[in-house]
Structure 1
Amino acid sequence: MATSSSSYEIEQLQKGCYYEWMGLQAKHIANLKEALMSQQSYENDHKLVGVIVNDFQKYAEKRRELSHRSCSSYFAPSWNSSLENGLLWMGGCRPSSFIRVIYALCGSQIETQISQYLHKIDGNEKVDGLMSELTATQLAKINELHIKVIEKEDKISKKSASMQEDVADMPIAVTAYAKDLVEAGVVVEDALDKHEEGMAVLMEEADKLRVETLRKIVEVVTPVQAAEFLLAGKRLHVSLHEWGRVREERRFGCARADAVAGGAGAGTSNKTTC
């Protein structure tokens, strides 16, 4: 695949692609907040949700192109904090976590409603959020989707485990055992290239599942509920990036944290992008 110099150049392209996407995320968050606060029409909410899902699809396509040139960086990105990298699954978040966000929103809003009822707050007072209004049919579809997504995640995870075991196979293990100072020859380089190509294929499968899951969720919920869900998910990612940056700054000083947040200025007003 790529040489060491070209691998560095590709990693910089990957990092640039990431921060470009994060700049777009900041714009999405602002648009979603405005839409939910101003209670725009059903049609406008539907258009905004469609734009955001399509942007995610385009981002996945860019990742696929760059990953097939060099993939390893996506599995432990230098632009992420250690906290974020520890939460990665196949170079990103688990698609099933999208659905867990819906469950969390629904549960928290129901708790708020119960609390208001117990404290006898005026029943006309509006509770922010619409996920608590999911119908039984919607919940059944989301639960069915959740089960299917987990099954697909497990299949991809098993493929990844098999690939990791293959690293201890011929010819890599024999070469490593035979030499005190390991210098990868042509055979080993070919084996490692094949492994990285396989990783790229797995990440592409995972990205397809992420996009597919997102599209199916927004088909089940209303446009306003979809906007609320998307806003919650984006805020979660933003928060995780900022929490990770702050934790590393606290532990290791500014150097590592600045490296993580180095490109966050592209399209964002602070270092809170993920």
Structure 2
Amino acid sequence: MSFHLFYETWSDELRQLVHQLRQAPIPPATEDDRRQLQELVQKVISHYDEYHRFKTSAAKRDALAFFTAAPGTTSLERSLHWIAGWRPTTAFHLIYTESSITLEIHVANLLRGLYNGDLRDLSMEQFHRVSQLKAETVQRENELTDQLCDWQDETTAMVGNIKMEKLAVIVEKAEDLRLKTIKSIMKVLTPRQAAEFLVAAADLHFGIRAWGVQHDSRRGMV
């Protein structure tokens, strides 16, 4: 199966999983509800695992395609890419956006006894851990960006299979970081918060995709 066909099928399945997350009891009222929510969250993570494996394999065959044509993506999506995909630190910006609170407001809400258990109610410990993860991810992003720059600056003597193999390794490392970032965030969040984050991430993914399709359609690119 080509990556394009895989991506379309994978996206359709992601929509179905996100729909199931939206339909899940939130907040979970019983232990069964909580277990169901955890299982759904794990299904979504496993779905991202599948994407990671297939894309990494495809990149080993033709890594350059993910920079020039990026199978299955629109021109808008490609303009936002970092090393053939979304920038890992985007996940942290999404958490901050979804929480929609400053530290002072959060403390004020806690003092007033306002607590819903969603992303607006991240604990101080959770905020601290998220900040640590973001700093670690930024550092790793910078390292991979430097590696890509070094690859681009290498002498023209290194061409053909050897150079493409090195690019494939960089893409694989970037994919590893994207997947690791999601999994690390899942460990910090409660099942309800994790479900909310995954739905928001999918909404962002599909929203950018829809805008990109409309943009390319107007330009006669699709």
TM-score, structure 2 normalization: 0.86
Paired residues of 1:99 and 1:142 also in contact (CA < 8 A): yes
Aligned: 1:233 with 2:201 = yes
Read off the aligned partner of 2:171 and give its amino acid letter: M
Read off the aligned partner of 1:29 and give its amino acid letter: V
1:226-265 to 2 correspondences below 5 Å: 226-250=194-218, 252-253=219-220, 256-257=221-222
Structure showing greater radius of gyration is 1
Read off the aligned partner of 1:46 and give its amino acid letter: Q
Q: Which runs of 5+ in 1 are unaligned?
A: 1-11, 115-122, 173-190, 258-274
Aligned: 1:92 with 2:85 = yes
Correspondent of 2:2 among 6, 13, 24:
13
Paired residues of 1:36 and 1:227 also in contact (CA < 8 A): no
1:56-205 to 2 correspondences below 5 Å: 56-76=48-68, 77-107=70-100, 110=101, 130-166=118-154, 169-171=155-157, 191-205=159-173
2:175 match: 207
What displacement does 1:159 show? 0.2
- List per-residue Cα deviations over 1:48-68 (Å, max 9, x = no partner): 111111221121111112211
1:15-54 to 2 correspondences below 5 Å: 15-35=4-24, 39=28, 41-54=33-46
- List per-residue Cα deviations over 1:84-127 (Å, max 9, x = no partner): 101111111111111110000011xx49xx8xxxxxxxx9xx98
Distance 2:140 2:25 in 1: 33
What displacement does 1:170 show? 3.7
Distance 2:157 2:138 in 1: 34
1:3 match: none
Paired residues of 1:36 and 1:228 also in contact (CA < 8 A): no
TM-score, structure 1 normalization: 0.71
Matched residue count: 209
Paired residues of 2:88 and 2:137 also in contact (CA < 8 A): yes
Secondary structure at 1:232 match in 2 = helix
2:109 match: none
What displacement does 1:230 show? 0.3
Moved more, 136-145 or 69-78: 69-78
What displacement does 1:192 show? 2.6
Following TM superposition, the consecutive aligned residue runs of length 4 or more in structure 1 with deviations greater than 6 angstroms are none
Q: Which runs of 5+ in 2 are unaligned?
A: 106-111
Distance 1:235 1:36 in 2: 19
What displacement does 1:210 show? 1.0
- List per-residue Cα deviations over 1:163-208 (Å, max 9, x = no partner): 0111xx2437xxxxxxxxxxxxxxxxxx132221111101111111
Distance 2:71 2:188 in 1: 36
- List per-residue Cα deviations over 1:233-267 (Å, max 9, x = no partner): 001010001001112222x23xx23xxxxxxxxxx
The CA RMSD over aligned residues, in Å, is: 2.3
Read off the aligned partner of 2:197 and give its amino acid letter: F
Paired residues of 1:36 and 1:224 also in contact (CA < 8 A): no
